[in-house]
Amino acid sequence: MINPARLSALMYTGISLAAALLFLLATYATGRTYPPVARTGGALWVFILSMIITMPLVIPYVNRRR
């Protein structure tokens, strides 16, 4: 059985990585040419903000389910 803390970390990290990937895909889908620094910086920013937002939401959710 997986530790609830480890499961929480996997969940919110996965959600944040998915959000950052969606950001990158959206920058390519628009057809506009953005500098690589803007794309990677934006994806990193989205990843960090997603981590900040999802951590306090996912941890109690996993603890309640266990």
Q: How do the domains of the chain map onto residue ranges?
A: 20-65
Average pLDDT rounded to a whole number, residues 13-41: 96
Question: What's the confidence (pLDDT) of residue 47?
Answer: 98
What integer pLDDT is reported at residue 18 of this predicted model?
Answer: 98
pLDDT at 44 over 80: yes
Q: What is the pLDDT of residue 1?
A: 75
CB 27 within 8 A of CB 41: no
Average pLDDT over residues 11-30: 97
User: Mean pLDDT over all residues of the chain?
Assistant: 95
Check residue 33 and give its pLDDT. 92
pTM (2 decimals)? 0.90
